[in-house]
């Protein structure tokens, strides 16, 4: 049976209050964002003792941490920003087991100087791929040295932004310490948003064997091509709602064929954790009820 969880980053509270609210909503797992009011990794507040306190607090609440978020831009064109982003990801690998999971998750990034999600023409070049391959290879080696697996999340406007690029990356690195975080909405742009079922089937036909964790949000044609963000108290990775003409709202508010998605996911990975995202706190009960309803209807 697929378990339904949520990112902790949608709860702008202390560790204890975040756990209380997630438990009250009947989730059974979380993807961990270390961005609590009383401990924020981006502010340098994480150490081994604090990491174990977080892990043990979620264990005491019977709320498993299935993955650790370390979302950043590995190919930022500013050398100092890029180096800091890479150090941040490696730090999260260093603390991953203390935090309770061997999986550390991130997208790959874009050469756009002002955004982590806007397409840049360099992203599609061979030069960009080779540079990204070198960086991710180094990250995977670091992850392996810590007994950790890097879960790559594809995003269409990043350097690693398509099924073909994911397959090439995994072939070129060929390590048990790299795998895929499944989010089919991240493969849609204006060229295929009208081919939802075909795209879903292609993602699962070619990538299902690499999936470890899945995400639950939605997609639809946006009213503009501008970068979209929600006005919520959260890290930028959680306020983001789409770019380039495709909006990424909460589950049930777009055109993704959720019955087909859950059918394909259940067939490939009947016990995979499914993490709800791209919503504000007030919309969580609706989104969870929607996802739970589809899972029950499909028997997974």
> In the chain, pLDDT over 90 holds for what percent of residues?
99
Dist CA 207 CA 227 (whole Å): 28
User: Domain holding 72: CATH number?
Assistant: 3.20.20.150
pLDDT tens readout for residues 197-248: 999 999 999 999 999 999 999 999 999 999 999 999 999 999 999 999 999 9
CA of residue 161 relative to chain centroid, distance: 13
* Confidence grade of residue 52 (pLDDT, cut at 50, 70, 90): very high
Which among 153, 86, 100, 162 has a CA at the least distance from the CA of 129? Answer: 162
Instruction: Give the helix ranges, DSSP H, for the chain.
Output: 15-24, 48-60, 79-99, 126-145, 163-173, 196-207, 236-239, 258-268, 284-298
CA dist 7 and 216 (Å) reads 11
The pTM score is 0.97
pLDDT tens-digit series, residues 197-208: 999 999 999 999
Please, is 130 exposed, middle or buried when counting C-beta atoms within 10 Å of its C-beta (0-12, 13-18, 19+)? exposed
HSE-CB at 12 with a 13 A cutoff on CA atoms is: 11
What does the alpha-carbon distance between residue 246 and residue 221 come to, in Å, rounded to a whole number?
5
State mean pLDDT over 73-102: 98
Quick one: average pLDDT of 128-151? 98
Q: What is the mean pLDDT of residues 259-269?
A: 98
Distance between CA atoms of 164 and 199, rounded to whole angstroms? 13
Please give the tally of structural domains in the chain. Answer: 1
List for the chain the helix, strand, coil content (%; round to 5): 45, 20, 35
Segment 78-98 shows an average pLDDT of 98
Mean pLDDT, rounded, of the chain: 97
Residue 260 banded pLDDT, cuts 50, 70, 90: very high
The percent of residues above 70 in pLDDT, for the chain, comes to 100
DSSP 258: H
Q: What is the radius of gyration, based on Cα positions, of the chain?
A: 18
Q: Following DSSP, what letter does each residue of 184-207 receive, concatenated?
A: GGGG--TTTTT-HHHHHHHHHHHH
What is the domain extent for residue 220? 3-298
When pLDDT is cut at 50, 70 and 90, the band that residue 107 belongs to is very high
- The pLDDT assigned to 125 comes to 98
pLDDT of residue 24: 98
């Amino acid at each position: 049976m697929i378990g339904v969880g949520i990112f902790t980053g949608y709860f702008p509270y202390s560790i204890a209050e975040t756990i209380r609210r997630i438990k009250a909503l009947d989730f059974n797992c979380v993807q961990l964002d270390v961005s609590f009011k009383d401990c924020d990794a981006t502010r340098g507040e994480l150490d081994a003792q604090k990491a174990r306190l977080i892990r043990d607090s979620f264990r005491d609440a019977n709320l498993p941490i299935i993955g650790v978020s370390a979302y950043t831009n590995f190919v930022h064109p500013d050398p100092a920003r890029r180096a800091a982003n890479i150090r941040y990801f490696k730090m999260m690998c260093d603390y991953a087991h203390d935090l309770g999971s061997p999986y550390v998750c991130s997208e790959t990034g874009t050469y756009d100087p002002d955004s982590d999600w806007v397409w840049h023409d360099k992203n599609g070049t061979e030069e960009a791929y080779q540079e990204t391959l070198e960086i991710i290879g180094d990250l995977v080696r670091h992850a392996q040295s810590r007994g950790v697996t890097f879960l790559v999340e594809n995003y269409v406007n990043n350097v690693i932004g398509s099924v073909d690029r994911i397959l090439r990356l995994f072939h070129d690195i060929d390590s048990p310490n790299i795998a895929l975080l499944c989010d089919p909405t991240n493969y849609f742009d204006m060229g295929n948003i009208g081919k939802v079922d075909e795209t879903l089937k292609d993602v699962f036909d070619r990538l299902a064997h690499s999936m470890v964790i899945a995400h639950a949000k939605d997609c639809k044609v946006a009213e503009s091509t501008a970068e979209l963000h929600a006005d919520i108290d959260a890290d930028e990775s959680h306020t983001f709602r789409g770019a380039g003409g495709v909006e990424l709202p909460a589950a049930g508010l777009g055109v993704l064929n959720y019955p087909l998605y859950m059918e394909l996911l259940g067939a490939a990975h009947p016990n995979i954790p499914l993490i709800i995202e791209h919503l504000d706190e007030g919309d969580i009960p609706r989104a969870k009820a929607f996802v739970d309803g589809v899972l029950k209807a499909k028997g997974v």
